Structure 1
Amino acid sequence: MKTVLVTLLALVVLGLAAAAALMFSGSYNFAADEPHWGITEKLIASARHHAIDRRASEIEVPDDLDNPARLRRGAEHYQPMCAGCHLAPGMDDTELRAGLYPQPPALTEHGIHNAASAFWTIKHGIKMSGMPAWGASHDDESLWDMVALLKTLPGMTEEEWKILTGGDEKSGTPTGHEHHDHAH
């Protein structure tokens, strides 16, 4: 039994020494144009998903996310705040998105899987990912409007997006980020 404990302790000490050597040697590349090691990517993704799901588990999702007024208000915010990274119907890529790592999800393709988790992510952001914490500048109703939009975004055509955003015929972008009857 004593040999097993000594061996485990030695492995822990070696593991900590290896981690310290990696940390302080500067050998791990943090450049945004070089992906993480595969194991690092998997560990970060798993930790991120579990952390978001845990924190979102107590959030109560409003019943009216299908309300067309919510979709319009959500699009009003999404176009200037989110489309540059997460795209909008008819957009292939952007210069900003191309330079980000990790690559933001293309919400026009896969949307969201859980409204509460999407709300939590929009409100609090994600550390070291480029995802801002919009809760610092927007009230919860505005954030739920964006979640409502994200539920329908994958099935939306470019023409529907232009109509929804009041975009011009050439770019599909709205004339501005107007704020109507909600507080920030």
Structure 2
Amino acid sequence: MKKHPFTVGIVGGIIGTLLIAIVVWLAVAYSGAYNVAATDRHFDAVRWTLETTMRRSVSSRADDVDLPEISEQLIAQGAGYYSESCAHCHGAPGKEPAAWSRGMRPEPPHLVEAATEWTTEEIYWIAENGIKMSGMPAFGPQRGPEEIAAIAAFVSQLPGLSAEDYAALTGGGHGQQGQAATIE
């Protein structure tokens, strides 16, 4: 069987392109040309690639999350855990994140607004598994499924939660659980 020159050219072009891409990738990795300093923002293409990959990965894996019924008590428990472990980086209603967290790249999202972009199952998955190369830790190894479900339930309620309700839920926002505020 005789190979057509056009087919050989296409295959050769594909292989050549892949080899050039690998050489460029290795040159960037080994040369240190890409600045990884947290004080230097990612190039738009890198930021888009990392964010899109993260969102698609979380979305595809969160389908397996099975949450308990979300109750006022679960939300109140989650508020205490959030105040202890999350508010430093993500802020809270009426509370800005710690100044040092603004130096992280990518910058941790302010969940009072950003939580609307995620389902409760996705929030659970993120809290349980963390996000590589972002500073978001995996709470799964340290906290049980009930605690993570409480955090996810609370975070899903953050948008629209007033500073007063947050303070009531957290006992002033200092890591202590307060009285359950009514969540609407």
Partner of 1:70: 74
Amino acid at match of 2:120: A
Amino acid at match of 1:73: Q
Partner of 1:6: 12
Amino acid at match of 1:56: A
The percent of aligned pairs where both chains have the same amino acid is 29
Return the TM-score normalized by structure 1.
0.87
- Superposed, 1:39-50 pairs within 5 Å as 39-50=45-56
- Superposed, 1:30-179 pairs within 5 Å as 30-62=36-68, 64-65=69-70, 67-112=71-116, 113-167=118-172, 172-174=173-175, 176=176
CA contact (8 A) 1:56 1:117 kept: yes
The structure that has the greater radius of gyration is: 2
CA contact (8 A) 2:89 2:108 kept: yes
- Superposed, 1:17-36 pairs within 5 Å as 17-36=23-42
Amino acid at match of 2:25: A
Q: Distance in 1 between matches of 2:136 and 2:86?
A: 9
Q: Distance in 2 between matches of 1:86 and 1:147?
A: 14
Q: Which runs of 4+ in 1 moved over 2 A?
A: none
CA contact (8 A) 2:79 2:177 kept: no
CA contact (8 A) 2:93 2:162 kept: yes
Please, which runs of 5 or more residues in structure 1 have no aligned partner? 179-184
Aligned-pair distance for 1:36? 1.2
Q: What is the root-mean-square deviation of aligned Cα atoms in Å?
A: 1.6
Please, which runs of 5 or more residues in structure 2 have no aligned partner? 1-6, 179-184
Cα distance, 1:177–1:69 mapped onto 2, change above 3 Å: closer
Question: What is the count of residue pairs matched by the alignment?
Answer: 171
Q: Distance in 2 between matches of 1:13 and 1:137?
A: 43
